[in-house]
Amino acid sequence: MTAPLNLGTAALLTAAPLLWAGNAIVGRLVHDLISPFALNFVRWTLAVLLLLPIAWRVLAKGSPLWQHWRAYAVLGFLGIACYNSLLYLSLKTSSPLNVTLVSASMPIWMMGLGRLFWGTSISGRQIVGALLSIAGVVLVLTRGDIDVLRHLRLVPGDLFMLLATLLWSLYTWLLTKAPGPQEFKSDWAAFLLAQLVFGVLWSGLLTGAEIGLGGFHLTPGWPLAAALLFIAIGPAILAYRCWGAGVRRSNPTVAGFFANLIPLFTAILSVLVLGQAPQLYHAGAFVLIVGGIWVASRR
């Protein structure tokens, strides 16, 4: 049964999508300055360096990390390297509209994986909540003109994004099943660094492949440095910390509904950056997505 949300948990699960929306905006601003896989690798390398002073003991001999390194290598692969890399790969052949619409299926994947592998129940409220949430995403992406959906065409990138969404859902569930002593998992910095050390290695391998295929480019300068610092502190460390804490306080199914706030926040931030006025469909999308969260999280 789904646990009811309190304000603290809702704030954590809202902060992560807001920071990830900021990541999307900044990523678009610097896409000409650094190649996608390199951006992901540098982002997580900086995050590791920032966490080391406060969580270095997790890497010491005798740490619970080394007893369960395989589980944390899987978490690093799924949540740190795989999701972002597949997202970047999908955008090579697909449009942001298609990619975001595909990712809106996350609540369905969360419910399905929970039912299939962990025997969680799916309630009628959760189904209604998922439909409301997806409707809100469709509304904000089509800007209130549903006729836009008629012109969508599926391309290979959409399949990459579908796989990315599935893997992120699996990562979120595995967060709640991570092995190790409770005091270790309760130390957010140590728990995150345990995933990052493996995630950086996986991301480095993908960047090496990018270099080998001739897709690497990097233009050093203050704009890129500032963007990387923001991405490392906000969308990497703080967002993952909030997401992990929010998932443990509620459950992955409820958290999946909050992921659909990302396109709404991205649209709002885009409006603010471009200096345009908010539109009525933004308010409608907010009501639908938040309504979906509220319906799904009630007992």
User: Which residues, at least 6 apart from 220, have a Cβ–Cβ distance to it below 8 Å?
Assistant: none
For residues 20 and 83, what is the distance between their CA atoms, to the nearest angstrom?
13
Q: How many helices (H) and strands (E) does the chain have?
A: 16, 0
Inter-axis angle of helices 124-142 and 280-297, nearest 10: 160
Report yes or no: 238 and 11 within 8 Å, Cβ to Cβ: no
Domain ranges of the chain: 7-297
> Whose CA is closest to 198, among 66, 26, 23, 55?
66
Q: Which two tokens stand for residue 205?
A: 């391998």
> Would you say 17 and 246 are in contact if contact means Cβ atoms under 8 Å apart?
no
**Residues of the chain where predicted confidence (pLDDT) is lower than 70:** 1-4, 91, 95-98, 141, 152-154, 273-278, 299
Q: What residues have CB less than 8 Å from 162, skipping those under 6 apart?
A: 102, 105
Q: Which helix (H) or strand (E) holds 79?
A: none
* 46 in Cβ contact with 276 (< 8 Å): no
Task: Report pLDDT for 1.
Answer: 43
Q: Report d(CA 52, CA 58) in Å as an integer.
A: 9
